Amino acid sequence: MALTEKIEAIYQEVVKRNPGEAEFHQAVKEVLDSLGPVLVKYPEFTEAKIIRRVCEPERQLIFRVPWQDDNGEVHINRGCRVQFNSALGPYKGGLRFHPSVYLGIIKFLGFEQIFKNSLTGLPMGGAKGGSDFDPKGKSDNEVMRFCQSFMTELWRIIGEHTDVPAGDIGVGGREIGYLFGQYKRLTNKFEAGVITGKGLIYGGAQVRTEATGYGCTYFVNEMLASRGDGFKGKKVVVSGSGNVAIYTHEKVTQLGGKVIAMSDSNGVIFDKTGVNLETIKLLKEVQRRRIKDYCEYHKNAQYTPNGNIWDIPCDVAFPSATENEITGKDAKKLVKNGCIAVGEGANMPTTPEGVHVFLNAGILYGPGKAANAGGVATSGLEMQQNAGREAWGFEETDIKLQQIMRNVYLQCSEAAEEFGSPGNLVIGANIAGFIKVARAMIAQGLV
């Protein structure tokens, strides 16, 4: 069987074994499509069936999460944790609380996390978890009760040397605090390294909040620098208005770019004078309001309900909301409107058709598993500090983050070059991330 046929057969098997999990299939296909040349160089990977093994999670837990709202009504959600791969370190990856969550989403995220974590160079395996619970519109007490119930199942399979959750969509500092508090209560241990994204006063790390957005901006800055360019004077569009989007805006602005549009799941704001970050932080971080209220503070800004943010012409785009938010059509529009670089702050935000458009157009394209690795990398730094009972300063942590992102970029572009696709950071990220995991798996025997 020719190599590409062998890989195609493995992919078909994954689809058959995991029916109805479209996002997981998409994530697997993208990685597998990159691996042909790797199997030529490392025939031992085929011999040991590494690709088949890597596509099968090591362990998965699905559980009931019952909780009561403020009126005493009972609700039932479903929670899960997929521990995908521990070749490089304890399972590591966030928790997502969002109504769209089902096993297929968590498996796509967990699968990507394996290679993303590998690219950071830190000792972390890959995992992901979450629930179809929607924190939007819930009171603090409701969120607390939900988190306590969720952790009452999850605690059995996590630990600082086993599996270290963190945040993702719908899980921020508030949720992490409640989850950590319940873990401490159940285990009778202040085990700081069991979860990352903690508050600074109880074991959290400087820069963790900013890390995904800052890291993504550093990554794009490296891509721009490879063409002798930078952020100065660039018009930038950042989708979303959560943690990733907010700190992308902050760093882009510090580096001389201007963010002219942001969004949430209800609509888009466009402010040609530059989106005011303090207003966004107030609305989103403090008041938990919708982005349309931005116009109450800035009368010249425009709000478009259900608008498509990718219709707005820009030089650099940062999809930082969610998966598959840029379609093939959106990608074409971006390229036509003069976009020269895309940095994925979200996980898998571009459809396969969209990725194809960006790569064909030859624009700078930083795929999520590389470009947004700064979040989990800084989680890795939080784990280091917890293990050493240390607390590093903001600047020294930020410098480490910058170095890690530079290194992620270099690994991707060098692997792309070495395996015959110079400039293609999708192939570069998949190959560089995969090889380390595969070699570690072989070294550890058939487990």
> Which residues lie near ligand GLU (CB under 6 A)?
92-94, 116, 166, 168, 196, 347, 375-376, 379
Q: How far is the CB of 173 from ligand GLU (least distance, A)?
A: 13
Hey, what are 268's tokens?
């888009």
Measured from the CB atom, is 196 or 209 closer to ligand GLU? 196
Dihedral pair phi/psi, residue 154, rounded to 5°: -65, -30
Residue nearest to ligand GLU (CB): 94
Q: How far is the CB of 123 from ligand GLU (least distance, A)?
A: 13
Q: How far is the CB of 242 from ligand GLU (least distance, A)?
A: 11
Kindly report each contact of residues 56-62 with a partner whose C-beta sits within 8 Å and lies 24 or more positions away, as own/partner. Answer: 56/17, 57/82, 57/83, 57/84, 57/85, 57/107, 57/110, 58/83, 58/84, 58/85, 58/86, 58/91, 59/83, 59/157, 60/103, 61/153, 61/154, 61/157, 62/103
Measured from the CB atom, is 198 or 235 closer to ligand GLU? 198
Q: Which helix (H) or strand (E) holds 64?
A: strand 59-68
Is 128 one of the annotated active-site residues of the chain?
A: yes
Task: Please tell me which residue in 128, 198, 234, 235 is annotated as part of the active site.
Answer: 128
Measured from the CB atom, is 8 or 58 closer to ligand GLU? 58
Hey, what are 22's tokens?
């479209």
Hey, what are 190's tokens?
């202040």
- Which residues are 269's β-sheet partners? 262, 303
Q: How far is the CB of 1 from ligand GLU (least distance, A)?
A: 35
* Residue 4 CB coordination number (10 Å): 13
Q: How far is the CB of 189 from ligand GLU (least distance, A)?
A: 20
Measured from the CB atom, is 120 or 279 closer to ligand GLU? 120
Measured from the CB atom, is 339 or 383 closer to ligand GLU? 383
Q: How far apart are CA 233 and CA 295, in angstroms?
A: 25
Measured from the CB atom, is 94 or 213 closer to ligand GLU? 94
CA of residue 2 relative to chain centroid, distance: 34
Q: Closest Cα partner for 348 from 162, 135, 106, 84? A: 106
* Residue 205 CB coordination number (10 Å): 25
* Position 118, amino acid: S
Q: How far is the CB of 165 from ligand GLU (least distance, A)?
A: 7
CB-CB contact of 328 with 354 (8 Å):
yes
Hey, what are 291's tokens?
């982005």
Torsion of CA 91, 92, 97, 102, to 10 degrees: -40
Q: Which residues are catalytic?
A: 128
